[in-house]
Amino acid sequence: MSVPPPALDDATLWRICEILAATDDGLTNSELDRLLREARIADPTPRDAGPGTYVIVSKRERLHLALSARQRADGHAAGVLRFVKTVMQPARYTATPALFEDRRHELNVTLSFAALRLEEDGRLVRVRAASTLTDARRRAQRLRQTLADRRAHPRLLAACVDEIRDENYFHAVLEATKSLATEIKRQTGLSGDGVPLVDAAFEKGKRGVPLLVLNSLRTDTERSRQKGLADGLRAVFAAARNPTAHEPKILATLSELDAVDHLTQVSYLHRRLGECTFTGHLTGAP
């Protein structure tokens, strides 16, 4: 028989409740009703407390009372962790994968102090306990948190979600840069890649007007902004895409700081691409 996991301290238990029963995007009271029953945990403060009785308690407090009571009765954390796994079954999040990752990330910061980690498949595994908040947050995917703090563009995050999760700097930069080419091709219908693709999309050529324009191009300032966007895209392809695409991974020495700088630049360029207008429909091109 396996040894039950030791009881969680109250600070850890309370933080778990704050994450799972958050005011805005946490479990609703109806979901708490169902999930507590599914995890076989009694609810000391049910919403329906009988005729004429109204229970005033926040979702976080309600969940904390239920989980702490179960842990005291058991003398260990097995029931609490069963509830966490019940809530975090990946199948529940097929329509909201971002919510699953957000909850898993925050839970892992807290669970790391209890020598636990919630895996992508919903399993809880034993790890070395974190001793500091810095260590805990680092383990809960530092690169992802850094990009979230910088409000990285959704297209960037979607393009390299696996690489960001694994903190694979080399391929995160590669996939993020590819996403710029994908977006240019989506907007214009062009083929090609890298600098030639940028030239085809942002230079006037025989048409006399670029396929993608950031503005009306009527003033020197507007033309400078257009050129700046094109030059920024060329620089990213030259500095990030081309070297990483041809360098064997075993030889790559991309640091975390360099990766964050590259990814931040890609995020900025995605925002500017989102402001562009396709002119091809005005001229019948491409």
Assigned domain for 1 exists = no
pLDDT of residue 126: 87
Residue 1 pLDDT class (50, 70, 90 cuts): very low
Domains in the chain: how many in total?
Answer: 2
Cβ distance 172 to 163 under 8 Å?
A: yes
Whether residue 182 is found in the same domain as residue 265: yes
On the question of a cis peptide bond just before residue 286, with omega within 30 degrees of 0, the verdict is yes
Whether residue 113 is found in the same domain as residue 51: yes
**What average pLDDT does this structure show over 182-198?**
92
Whether residue 56 is found in the same domain as residue 172: no
Whether residue 70 is found in the same domain as residue 136: yes
pLDDT at 76 over 90: yes
pLDDT of residue 23: 85
Rounded to the nearest angstrom, the gap between the alpha carbon of residue 161 and the centroid of all alpha carbons in its chain is 7
pLDDT of residue 57: 78
Average pLDDT, the chain: 84
Assigned domain for 4 exists = no
Chain segment 132-179, per-residue pLDDT in tens:
776 666 665 667 767 777 888 888 888 877 777 666 778 888 888 999
Per-residue exposure over 17-43, b if at least 16 CB sit within 10 Å of its own CB, e if not: bbbbbeeeebbeeeebeebbeebebeb
84, 111, 140 - which closes a domain: 140
Enter the tokens of residue 268.
Answer: 């900025």
pLDDT at 220 over 90: yes
**What average pLDDT does this structure show over 34-46?**
91
The range of the structural domain enclosing residue 197 comes to 154-283
